[in-house]
Amino acid sequence: MATKKKKRSVSDNQKSAMAEGRAQSRAISPYLEALEAYRPKRGRKRTPESIDRRLQAIDGELEGANQIKRLSLIQERLDLLDERKNLDRKVDLSAYEKAFVANAKPYGERRGISYQAWRQLGVPASVLSQAGISRSAG
Average the pLDDT over each of 37-46, 67-76, 97-106, 115-124 and give the range with the smallest value.
37-46
Q: For 19-56, what is each residue's pLDDT tens digit?
A: 888 888 888 999 999 888 777 677 778 888 999 999 99
Q: How confident is the model at residue 101 (pLDDT cuts 50, 70, 90)?
A: very high
Cβ burial of 97 (10 Å; 0-12, 13-18, 19+) is: buried
pLDDT at position 1, please? 58
**Model pTM?**
0.61
DSSP string, 11-51: -HHHHHHHHHHHHHHHHHHHHHHHHHHTPPPSSPPP-HHHH
pLDDT at position 58, please? 94
Residues 6 or more apart from 119 whose CB is under 8 A from it? 125, 128
Domain range summary for the chain, segments of one domain joined by +? 23-38+91-131, 48-86
